Chains A and B, each alone.
Chain A
Amino acid sequence: MIEFKNVSKKYPNGTLALDDVSLTINDGEFVFIVGESGAGKSTMLKTLFREEKITSGSLIVDGFDLKKTRNRKIPYYRRKLGIVFQDFRLFHDKTVFENVAFAMRAVGESTKSINRRVPTILSIVNLQDKVKCFPRELSGGEQQRVALARALANNPSIIIADEPTGNIDPKLSLEIMNLLIKIHKHGKTVIVVTHEKNFVDYFQQRVITIKDGKVVDDKVGGMFDA
């Protein structure tokens, strides 16, 4: 469970990016976070993966109090998250297999377990035929699927996707969104930050709208209304 309680985030330059945000996301929920540029969506995500510390209030994710958790414990917290970025952030000198395996290496998984699990994950994202390819040999949609596979590698309970379709064409974007829905159906909590009105309206999930750092709307089965 993710629980924001009166969370505010003020940057050193004085910008108040989150202003008294309170909301709860239950385990297994699918949530779209929408809002204009500069509304505070990215800051919200950054506080979720503890890139930024909140200034006041409390933020508890899967039992981790992110205001109090010590820095050396943060890597263990991040293993509960699978993060997908708009720009994919893949290692360009590693193959598809190695990119996914890297996430497992980083948490100390054995080679045996990596060799067993990576092909399974790649088949979930339909990339079983591309294991030996390098990212430059793949389309944008395929690269994002590799990023998604990497996010799933350590079996996280929460998937956070920051504009996952921002860099790919509409047809392939639908494929990515369908994959996220598929992952959600496997019991994961999925949080998607997006500007894509069509998808938000089409999938009819919970929609949280942010404006000037505040939650201005929060509806299940809501529409893109930023």
Chain B
Amino acid sequence: LAVGGDPQLPPLPGQARVVICGGGIVGTSVAYHLAKLGWTDVVLLEQGRLGAGTTRLCAGILSMAKPISIESQMASYSSSLYQQLEEETGIKTGYVKTGSLCLAQNQDRFISLKRLATRLKVLGISCNIIKPKEIAKLHPLVNIHDLVGALHLPEDAVVSSPDVNHALAVAAARQGVQILEQTAIQQVVVEKGHVTAVETDRGSIECDYFVNCAGQWAYELGQASEVKVSVPLHGCEHFYLLTKPLQEMLSPNTPVIIDMDGRMYARPWQGGLLSGGLEKNPKPIFTEGRNQLEVQNMQEDWDHFEPMLSALLRRMPNLEAAEIHQLVNCPESFTPDMRCLMGETPGVSGYYVLAGMNSSGLAFAGGAGKYLAEWMTYGYPTANVWALDIKRFGNLQSSRTFLRHRVMEVMPLLYELKVPRWDFQTGRQLRTSPLYDRLDTQGARWMEKHGFERPKYFVPPGKDLLSLDQSKTFYKPDWFDIVGAEVKCCKEAVCVIDMSSFTKFELTSTGDQALELLQYLCANDLDVPVGHIVHTGMLNERGGYENDCSVVRISKNSFFIISPTDQQVHCWSWIKKHMPSDPHLHLEDVSWKYTALNLIGPRAMDVLAELSYVSMTPEHFPSMFCKEMSVGYANGIRVMSMTHTGEPGFMLYIPIEYALHVYNEVMSVGQKYGIRNAGYYALRSLRIEKFFAFWGQDLDTFTTPLECGREFRVKFDKDTNFLGREALLQQRQEGVFRRFVMLVLEDHDTELDLWPWWGEPVYRSGQLAGTTTSSAYSYTLERHVCLGFVSPPPGPEGLPTPITPDFINRGDYEVDIAGQRYPAKAKLYPFSSLFTQQKRRKEDMELSNFQGK
């Protein structure tokens, strides 16, 4: 043999369409689904033996009770896949439908389970909220005395994950996937931004696609390509206990217990019990990277397991007499935001990742493998996976120190009770505005987006800061009055909000190239006079929003593009992907160069006029314009007559070295107009009551402008081709099947009732019609406002029905918050707007337009 190694091993092919790295359940699932979708030339490489890593030791619980809907969907698909796998392959998978019980030890946990139940029902996953007495009927060992209730998912199951892994591999191999064990990838070769080959310890394979499913080692593998790929995950040790068969053997279909308040889980295992947990003080491992052999040698740590053992015995006191079989240490990989990493990497085309399963690898592998295979086949998966898209992260989340600290927070957080608008505590203050310290000393409370610190609200002097930070509730939060005061100030005087976190790009060219590119990428017309601002979506071929941004024509051939904060990586790669390689066309990320201040409120123009000696009235500075002007001593400030909330005001894009000066000037001149700082919570309330949709919350890659009432931002009348045009034209013909609406809650007591958040089911005349995407309390309406999508029930043949204004206006709507339904009024336009009349006419027209044709 030319290359060393085991002579028993089959020879390495020199070439393949796809190379998958990792023979765990994730990698084999990707191979399986690629084969199902017709890929024939797929090679899967495993450095050791198939399923020898985390998969081998996995606790084998397949639960669909996941915190976000896309995860539950994946688990639900995995469940049906694993269920039929034995039939398909003839390999026993150990699948037993046990059902599962998520226990609540307190009212808040019970509320969160009820919220989860409403969400699962929307997905068609069967589940019931049950009383402690019923828990006792379902499980012989559970002590129910300290329980409030539970969520029962009868379809949940246990399964042997190495066997599923094996079955997937066998099924994939039958369809032509080549599986090679004991072959370690050393490097991924990249040429001109595209994957071309992988180099292994047994030679190299040329390929067009590479999929990194290396689990624990995915980070290191990412670093081992010519162009480094950031796969932000980090391992932690994870322990579970196996008992010997109990005196009275536990039936194999005893439900799985998930006691998140006790930080433990338990499932039946060979007449005994398997029980582990997600502890408060996890043990991170492999920070410096190791080889796979380490996994085999993981040590048990009984002292570390003590809290979990105590929690188990508290939950099942009769287990005291059960005998120990083994304590298993199974390392798991965790990501910075508890969600897995999926999709094509931003820097290298053809390089896909599926890793970072946050201890739910078995439950996700089926669904995630399917979505990734679809992604590679069609260019996009069949569901909105933005929450899992690896492009939500960039290099800035790649620091080993950051990952180590963050996963130590993430692992316990998976079981922690999460109330609306919780924030991560570790890995903070990474990216900050130059005004951070100034704002912090004025009482700013911070939240983080894409590593950037943004003010939530400002605690007025004299308020008890500590208790505010600790208040956690599903009901009215403590900051209610603080935000209320900020909103009032935005409406009546003027507020300043630091919005520096926004993604800012500059696209320039020598000739028309920049305009041509943007005309193709953007739905709205950008051939506007210099100084104009255009709100536009960047759509995909299906007409869905890949991005929603504001573009300013700075000069004839240069454009300033402002996108949401978390678009930094995604939007960059979207533009790059469609950008011709032309040396005269240049895209630059200038996010860090500008501090953005939003002056909101009727007196904003007075403040600016005083600082610039230029009249800022609408006659002199009409809406949606941008001018470079001086503010205070600083020159070259980009002043834009727009806000992101629909209130009158200006955005100031300030070169960072002037930021403090401009802020100080604004604050000092603003004194007499009653200026104050405001935060994102005030902004949220303002934009939601104004019915402003935000990308990432309300808009996604499956939402078209027609569905959210933004047809007026599409250049249909122009004869210019743009991405998504065909799909939109077709939708205009066929009508839309869902519509973005505003739901104003009625009969909802802000003081006493649970607050809506997002993801609440919407019912129309008793029938499920959609879900909410965001919500806020409107201080103007003195009511809660939810934004969301509704659609009519399918027609007689199961075909979708086009939505009509009547459907929206004539229905009795209800929003379901944790099982209780609150009547709501559905609206297609906001109550109060600067240009209410004008807009209403326009929007009514739009709606009738797309219905009529």
Do A and B pair up? The answer is: no
